[in-house]
Amino acid sequence: MGRGKPGTGESQMVETLRAYPLFREAPPEDLAALIRAGTWRMWPAGRFLFLEGDPAEGLYVLLEGYVKVIQADAAGQEAVAQMAGPGEPLGLIALFADQPYPASAQAMTPCRALWIPGTAFREFLLRHPEVALRMLRLLAERLHEVHRRLLEVSVLRVERRLARVLVRLAGRLGRRTEEGIELMLPLSREELAELCGTRLHTVSRLLNRWQRAGWVRLGRRRILLRQPHALVALAEELEGPRGL
């Protein structure tokens, strides 16, 4: 894991942070001070940014790459709980609850993140209530997402759950191309199954069916949504393509 101070790249990092919704309205000089209080770090694919149970002494703001958040149940079985991409903070809940990290964060690709000490970030929020409000909204959205997923696992058919997961990932971590929306993170079918609360075999069967129908195109840990409108229709049970 590499680490260092931003140094001569400080102005560029300020602009990078201001491009993300959480920091968009913060004054550049205050963001520069926050960056100087922190440390940027780099991880190769497969390494952990932090482990479940580690003390939450600071906040990570992901600058490059993709991370999966993994939680373990009482029996020690692990499952993917969340995916994160550039601009998203990691460790918010633990930091403000003064609790250890409730999950582990593992790099899916080479990653670079700014680590900000908890004390510095709290002081920054006190000076910038607009950022604090954005952060509260982000936390509320994450809580809503957890409740929504619990409800979906209880009442929705697997194909609707999978469609919803793909649509949400496309909205957050997708790139629009001439052929459709490409999910930028290297997502395996097993990870998709964990996000949906179902089995690998079921996800593979559905994805292969959707590929034959022209809805998606599958690659090695890559998914292209060729007909995202069809997945939205299935996710919300709208009047749309049938025959699958």
Reported as a single tens digit per residue, the pLDDT across 207-223 is: 999 999 999 999 888 89
What pLDDT score does 7 carry? 46
What pLDDT score does 230 carry? 95
CA dist list (Å): 158 to 113, 148, 153: 34, 14, 8
Reported as a single tens digit per residue, the pLDDT across 94-144 is: 888 888 999 999 999 999 999 999 999 999 999 999 999 998 888 888 887
Residue ranges covered by each domain of the chain: 2-152, 158-236
Contact 193, 202 (CB under 8 A): yes
What pLDDT score does 6 carry? 47
Regions of the chain short of the pLDDT cut 50: 2, 6-8, 239-244
Q: Which CATH fold topology does 2-152 show? A: Jelly Rolls (2.60.120)
Domains 2-152 and 158-236 share a fold: no
User: pTM of the entire structure?
Assistant: 0.81
Identify the CATH assignment for 158-236 out of 1.10.10.10, 2.40.128.520, 3.40.50.720, 3.30.565.10. 1.10.10.10
What pLDDT score does 149 carry? 74
